[in-house]
Homo-oligomer: A and B are copies of this chain.
């Protein structure tokens, strides 16, 4: 596969993104419109994400289960807001083999209804609570316009579904899992994120409250990179799920759900990528080091591989019959955090060369220090990537006190804008119509310092607004 030119990131960000997805061999297209093929590098990143999050979920007591992938139409219809939100965008199975189904079924767009049907059967007493379930699966939403990872008809994700005896516990779970996502994205993906509550208009169909993880991409657009919902008793009442409490009375339990998807890979690309291609944070990169031999260094390669294995540093060796220059370019496109050049002449002098992907800086080091240098560099790259993303993100957060200011920033700058807001949907809608910016989330730790920027009435809260993927 030839490494071809990648569009300049500042010239055409959308084209740059697609170029990176395809040229880093993350995805490919197929005759299945709106779906993507996730290729080995893309899938290995997803496996790493799964592993880290799954361990975290399990540590917190969650158990994995697997529900059916289909939902009969009547089951989807049980919770009113929920079906209104999802029915227009699902894929319908109408035939099984040669026979028309008596009742059509959709491919799950999310599994609340399936979980609730099951919960009704297995929850009887307060002793059965909390019930902490999670599912890794593929869901389908029939999107019109699609882009790899960001918006696809098929989505790989996890969906947590938990049931609690009290509202307090369910709310704690909602925020606990929001925080797991935040920590994961900051610590592993090196993506600084903003968390907060969604407005009524933007919340999940059927939820009482939706909390979101908002990341800012290189171009200033927002990516909703995970959500955690508090359902209260909305679904448990609709599905008539009850438990006998400690006081021997029948009660409806309180519920949460929370999920992240392969969209996070899109976030990784758009926060860290550059004109050379993908840049992977060491902690999520499937292979931390790409070894590129220069000249005949078969012996040393084996020695280095053993050293890396002993120190649990993952790597790949590029020993194809191509020029080093070709391999360097491909290693850059694919985003390996460290390129290790093993040159014959260098080695004779007890030296090797490390090139870090984030800055492309070269460093000649002593061969004997190779593990120490690599380990230090991996930490440095991880930190640098986070700090760089944080600095850029913070520089692209603006504040507007008047509607004119808002329009001015929206027209001339990329990024998020903080505003005071009265809480009315019509003001949210006006902003959307005038600027294509949507509310990202409520800001709950900052003082309201003026009236609503849209209507001038008393503001109830501050919010972030931003254009979105």
Contacts and interface: CB of A to CB of B under 8 A. Distances in A.
B91 A64 contact: no
A325 interface: no
Interface stretch (A8-16, A40-48, A387-395, A407-415): A40-48
Given A63-B40, A98-B88, A68 B107 contact: no
A35 B70 contact: yes
Contacts of A127: 320
Contact of A32 (B71, B138, B142, B153): B71
A118 B68 contact: no
Contacts of A347: none
A396 interface: no
Nearest to A67: B37
A66 B28 CA distance: 10
A398 interface: no
Contacts of A129: none
Contacts of A121: 28
A97 B64 CA distance: 29
A105 interface: yes
A44 B66 CA distance: 10
Contacts of A65: 37-40, 43
A94 B32 CA distance: 14
B105 A97 contact: no
Given A88-B97, A95-B91, A35 B107 contact: no
Interface string A418-462: 000000000000000000000000000000000000000000000
Contact of A96 (B38, B47, B91, B156): B91
A96 B106 CA distance: 9
B75 A117 contact: no
Nearest to A36: B68
Interface string A131-158: 0010001101010000000000110100
Nearest to A86: B97
Would you list the 8 A-B pairs with minimal beta carbon distance, nearest first?
A: A35-B68, A40-B63, A92-B95, A32-B68, A96-B142, A38-B66, A97-B142, A94-B94
17 contacts: A30-B68, A31-B117, A32-B68, A32-B70, A35-B70, A37-B67, A37-B114, A40-B63, A40-B133, A43-B66, A46-B66, A47-B64, A70-B154, A91-B96, A94-B95, A96-B153, A97-B142
